[in-house]
């Protein structure tokens, strides 16, 4: 009787182990599907988040178009998925509230005035006299005071794609800020080198719309930088059109055609940066835009426009039992488990697993640790199975001996 009970118990144990092994294989299959999703062959950049730094460096009413340039770019990157929390917007002047504005609280980039670029949903991080060369360089390099709020910080890492856009008045290797100071091509190049050394970007796209714009990226020497500008050396960058009711030019020609092209792009677009640069037409733009890609690692035909103008979704993959815990907490009237809260999550508490985009593991755990645990679990199952077989053989031998 005891032998029969032990045999049944061993049979039950074996069935449980086989069920666990099957569940483990299904979990591995699901994880492989997730891994394949985040490692799509058509998006090999490997970045996990996008940021944008948009700067209008000009003040005064007659530079209305420069503010419209920056706001037009701001609207576009937001539409393509970069959230306000990942955008640093710097406006040297507030044309929307200028006393000469016939349309108070509004900024338009075309004479038809169909789209208000200012509107109600805008977050300006640096305004007026806050827009200085020093503050711009501090934003890029992360050398800001401890009291600086998060909304004014560029919180990037070595998996960030960063888009930097500048517009204003410039010349050979310089751009004016506030009409009383200048930033040079050397300053920008050195700031980008500091960013690279401090692992503050994975890939960086630099765009500038000003006179002699292409000279501003001539001194770059850091890797993974793609740069473009609106005009060659000794060449002006012209406005596109003027609104006679507003009384000034409302947008620059280069930025107008860039935004026009980007209006045909959505978050899932497969358009590449090669397609983007092929759009440049010196006749329409009234200047000769330039491109510098010698520092960039990937061919432009494999770089999606949304790798810089779009946003990556932040996805956390969690076990289903965590949601059951959350449901139980809600039913009991308690607060949700802190493991599910992203609001105040410590960035050091979890890190993305290499190659899975936003896949997160607990602190102190690596992908290798997970695989090692599974390997030992599999070995344990094999040991239990072998023990079961040996016990079965022993019991049968004992039973046959008693029968004799």
Active-site amino acid positions: 169, 211
Instruction: Tell me the CB-side half-sphere exposure of residue 136, using CA atoms within 13 A.
Output: 31
Distance CA 138, CA 187 (A): 12
- Angle 218-237-116 (CA atoms, 0-180°, nearest 5)? 115
Q: Dihedral through CA 279, CA 76, CA 153, CA 365, nearest 10?
A: -90
The pair of structure tokens assigned to 307 is 């790798």
154 Cβ neighbours under 8 A, 6+ residues apart? 51, 53, 88, 139, 140, 142, 162, 200
The pair of structure tokens assigned to 375 is 């390997």
Question: Within 10 A of 303 (CB to CB), how many other CB atoms are there?
Answer: 25
Quick check: 315 and 358 in contact, CB under 8 A? yes
The pair of structure tokens assigned to 44 is 């090999």
Look at residues 140, 198, 135 and name the one whose alpha carbon lies nearest to residue 164. 140
The kind and range of the H/E element at 229 are: strand 225-229
Residue where the block lists tokens 């794609």: 161
Quick check: 160 and 202 in contact, CB under 8 A? yes
Cα 152 to Cα 18, 142, 392, distances in angstroms: 55, 10, 70
Backbone angles phi, psi at 391, to 5 degrees: -65, -40
């Amino acid at each position: 009787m005891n032998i029969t009970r032990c045999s049944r118990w061993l049979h039950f144990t074996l069935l449980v182990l086989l069920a666990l092994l099957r569940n483990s294989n299904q979990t591995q299959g699901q994880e492989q599907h997730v891994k394949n999703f985040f490692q799509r062959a058509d998006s090999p950049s490997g970045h996990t988040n996008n940021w944008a730094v948009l700067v209008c460096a000009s003040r005064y009413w007659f530079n209305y178009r420069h503010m419209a340039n920056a706001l037009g770019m701001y609207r576009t990157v937001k539409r393509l998925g970069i959230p306000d929390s990942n955008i640093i917007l710097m406006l040297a002047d507030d044309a929307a509230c200028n006393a000469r504005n016939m349309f108070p609280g509004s900024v338009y980039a075309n004479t038809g005035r169909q789209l208000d670029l200012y509107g109600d949903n805008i977050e300006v991080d640096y305004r007026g006299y806050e827009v200085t060369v020093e503050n711009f360089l501090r934003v890029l390099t992360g050398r800001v005071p401890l009291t600086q709020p998060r909304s004014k910080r560029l919180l990037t890492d070595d998996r960030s794609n960063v888009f930097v856009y500048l517009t204003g008045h410039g010349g050979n290797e310089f751009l004016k800020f506030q009409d009383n100071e200048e930033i040079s091509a050397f300053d920008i190049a050195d700031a980008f080198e500091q960013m690279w050394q401090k692992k503050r970007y994975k890939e960086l796209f630099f765009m500038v719309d000003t006179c002699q714009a292409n000279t501003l990226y001539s001194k770059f020497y850091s890797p993974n930088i793609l740069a473009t500008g609106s005009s060659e050396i000794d060449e002006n960058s012209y406005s596109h059109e003027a609104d006679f009711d507003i009384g000034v030019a409302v947008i620059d020609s280069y930025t107008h055609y860039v935004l026009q092209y980007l209006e045909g792009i959505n978050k899932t677009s497969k358009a590449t940066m090669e397609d983007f640069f092929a759009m440049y037409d010196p006749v329409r733009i009234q200047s000769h835009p330039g491109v510098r890609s010698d520092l960039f690692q990937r061919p432009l035909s494999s770089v999606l426009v949304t790798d810089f103008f779009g946003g990556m979704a932040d996805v956390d993959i969690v076990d289903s039992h965590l949601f059951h815990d959350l449901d139980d907490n809600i039913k009991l009237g308690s607060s949700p488990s802190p493991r599910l809260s992203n609001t105040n999550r410590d960035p050091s508490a979890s890190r993305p697993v290499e190659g899975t985009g936003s896949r997160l593991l607990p602190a102190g755990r690596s992908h290798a640790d997970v695989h090692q645990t599974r390997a030992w679990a599999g070995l344990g199952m094999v040991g239990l199975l072998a023990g079961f077989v040996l016990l079965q053989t022993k019991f049968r031998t004992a039973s046959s001996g008693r029968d004799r």
